Chain A
Amino acid sequence: MSIATEIADGLDELETDFPAAFVWNSTSYTCLAGSESRSVNAGEFGLEQNDDLVLIVQLSQFGVGSKPTERNKITFNSRSYRIEEIEKAPQDSFVIYHCTRSR
């Protein structure tokens, strides 16, 4: 069994135990939710919300089609986030999206 398959099996199990999904381009995709932080602070234009989110996502579910890229907008838990950074695992087994709240 390749390392990618082993990782996928592990992620499948975790996704079953901790189901979560995000929406990108009007389509829902499965993910594993990592840390999710929410804060509201006084800012330049009143009260500002600073939310951060980390998602672990299997790339196989996107098939050969396009995948979310940096600066794309996603929706998670009814909140709009923007993907600020993407970490890629070996053999494209999964990616980690580091997201921040999108205005």
Chain B
Amino acid sequence: MAFAHLPNLIETRMAAAIDAETWTSGVTVAASTGAEIIAFPAIIVAVEKGTEDPEHSGNFRCDLTITVLGKVDPDNDSTFASAVSAHEAIAGDVASWIMTDTDAVASALSGTITGYTNELVIQSLRLDAFTRDINPSEGAFEDEFSVELYAHMDG
């Protein structure tokens, strides 16, 4: 069996954990590798960087971004305001999920992924920062949550 690289482990586990939430019904959840012809609304989980801390400990401080993408264009029988509301609802759910019970999230993220033997262990996580923007080329509202994880791998 193969060994999963840490970004793959983290992104896959977090995308699965978010996708399992009831509020992601109808929302595409994907890792940083994206999807083939992605549909909006979408949540993209991307590990930006990992640094061993302390050195030679086997523990890594990882920076991860959760991006919520909402459609700017409303449906024909809807309005711009309704498109904004739909996006705000998903962004709020992500904020609640990542901020309310970080121990539960850390526990949900820990584990293995299909096809790989090594296990991810998340010791702690915290919301580090957030930004928001409109992406005109993609026609999407973007809410970005920067999350810091402290993790190691077993096996």
With the chains together, A45 CA to B135 CA distance in Å? 13
Contacts of B76 in A (CB 8 A): 24-25, 72-73
Q: Place the interface of chain B in its size category.
A: 20 to 34
Contacts of A48 in B (CB 8 A): 37-38
With the chains together, A7 CA to B40 CA distance in Å? 40
Q: Is the CB of B37 within 8 A of A49?
A: yes
With the chains together, A4 CA to B42 CA distance in Å? 46
- The total of chain A residues at the interface (CB under 8 A) is 16
| Per-position binary interface string of chain B over residues 121-155, scored 1 when its CB falls under 8 Å from any chain A CB and 0 otherwise | 00000000000000000111000000000000000
Contacts of A43 in B (CB 8 A): 34
Contacts of A82 in B (CB 8 A): 73
B residues with CB within 8 A of A: 30, 33-40, 42, 44, 69, 71, 73-77, 138-140
A residues with CB within 8 A of B: 24-25, 40, 43-49, 71-73, 82, 102-103
